[in-house]
Amino acid sequence: MHTTQQSVRITRGRRVLIGASAAAAALASLTLSIASAQASARAQGPTLVVYSAQGYDSAVVTAFNKTNPGFIVTLNDNSTGPLLQQIQAEGTHPKWGVLWVDGSQAFAALDRQGKLAKGIVPKVSFNAVGRANIAADGSFVPTGLTATGALVYDSSQISPARLPKTWADLLKPEYAHMLGMNDPTQSGPTYPLIAGVMNDLGHYTNGSPASAIRTGEAFFTRLKKNGLVINATNGPTLGAIQSHKIAMAIIQSSAGYGAEISTSPTIRVAYLNPVTALPGTIGIDGLMPKTVQDEARKFVDYVLSPAGQHVMQIGDPQGDSLFWPVLNGEKPANKVIPALSSVPMQTTNPYVWGPLENQINAWFTAHVTNG
């Protein structure tokens, strides 16, 4: 009896020991593998970290790393909001080497804070719209161009002949409850749209934009009264068109073309006069060591090279790849995109409109989104 009890105890003990040992070994090997991966990554010296919200960024970074031995670029691929949160929280001890997002407002703010490297413009041939979106001090450059405020509509719900022709037309009763747009606090391209509408309707040229802001606020207030529907981002707004809750929306051009060539063949894109240029913009962290800044310049050069532009055009074929190139000699990735010359496009000053983002977004949230 005693022997049996002892053997049972030994068996139990062994089972516990085996189980605990296996678990401990698995955990230890896992922790070690993760730690060693981190250590080996760090052992390779300073690496360039690209903070990007572009749909094709992963493809570009992969292609760059394959063709450029010597250093490895790592990618922090996230939405624009979290990326800018991280950059702001990192303060004067940054980890980002390159920032690559749509719009120039954030870059203008970073430039004013002295956080961007100057003179990063590669020696390539920019077209007119490309040149118009380069910072005067060369602290940020466009890599491609889309339009914000493009009129994306469902041709099965509204025929092209019935479409509004001007921004003022959107206030007509015949378009009541038919129009949607995104929430500027959630959707990166939407604040540039609002600023662009204020810039245009307020006939802003220089000086204080206060009058233009008031004109724009009056316009959006009336648009809201006419049944404007607000969704978070391009996706849900397109979803509202596709599920026939609305018939058209003012959003980013690439999102409209993406829907047209993928899920909804009846989606079309039209342009009110004017729409606002939304450049895919890239900038380099001026607080990084020179070695990292040199790596970053090589990356920017690659992005604006024919090889880089090609990868951008195939990296997100139904999304962000549907842009207009900003370089002479390059063509859009898909025939669905019209010639850039046929699109009435304005460029707003990011140094004027950028600092107003919080103020205008707060007003929009209170009076339009939740109004």
Residue 148 class from Cβ within 10 Å (0-12 exposed, 13-18 middle, 19+ buried)? Answer: buried
Q: Check residue 95 for interaction with another protein (CB under 8 A).
A: yes
Q: Check residue 319 for interaction with another protein (CB under 8 A).
A: yes
Compute and round to an integer the Cα radius of gyration of the chain: 25
Q: Check residue 227 for interaction with another protein (CB under 8 A).
A: no
Q: For tokens 């993928």, what's the residue?
A: 262
Q: Check residue 307 for interaction with another protein (CB under 8 A).
A: no
Q: Check residue 79 for interaction with another protein (CB under 8 A).
A: yes
Segment contacting another protein by CB under 8 A, of 80-88, 272-280, 296-304, 323-331: 80-88
Segment contacting another protein by CB under 8 A, of 48-56, 171-179, 208-216, 289-297: 48-56
Q: For tokens 């062994």, what's the residue?
A: 14
Segment contacting another protein by CB under 8 A, of 89-97, 122-130, 131-139, 218-226: 89-97
CB of 200 to another protein, least distance (A): 23
Distance between start and end Cα atoms, the chain: 82
Contacts 24+ apart (CB under 8 A), 77-86: 77/52, 77/53, 78/51, 78/52, 78/53, 79/53, 79/188, 80/53, 80/106, 80/188, 81/186, 81/188, 83/51, 83/52, 83/53, 86/51
Q: Check residue 84 for interaction with another protein (CB under 8 A).
A: yes
Q: Where are the alpha helices (DSSP H) in 243-315?
A: 253-261, 290-303, 306-315
Residues within window 96-155 making contact with another protein, judged by CB under 8 A: 105-106, 109
Of positions 149, 315, 325, 350, contacts another protein by CB under 8 A:
315
CB of 104 to another protein, least distance (A): 12
Q: Check residue 81 for interaction with another protein (CB under 8 A).
A: yes
CB of 75 to another protein, least distance (A): 5
Segment contacting another protein by CB under 8 A, of 22-30, 118-126, 133-141, 192-200: 22-30
Of positions 221, 235, 297, 346, contacts another protein by CB under 8 A:
235
Count of residues that interact with another protein, criterion CB under 8 A: 72
Q: For tokens 């370089």, what's the residue?
A: 327
Those residues with Cβ within 8 angstroms of residue 98's Cβ, 6 or more apart along the chain or in another chain = 48, 49, 50, 51, 52, 282, 283, 284, 285, 296, 299, 300
Question: What are the start-end ranges of the E strands in the chain?
Answer: 48-52, 73-77, 98-102, 140-154, 179-182, 229-231, 248-252, 267-270, 275-284, 345-346
CB of 303 to another protein, least distance (A): 17
Q: Check residue 68 for interaction with another protein (CB under 8 A).
A: no
Residues within window 160-189 making contact with another protein, judged by CB under 8 A: 185-186
Q: Check residue 38 for interaction with another protein (CB under 8 A).
A: yes
Cα(60)–Cα(73) distance, integer angstroms: 10
Of positions 243, 290, 335, 339, contacts another protein by CB under 8 A:
243
Of positions 6, 7, 15, 172, contacts another protein by CB under 8 A:
15
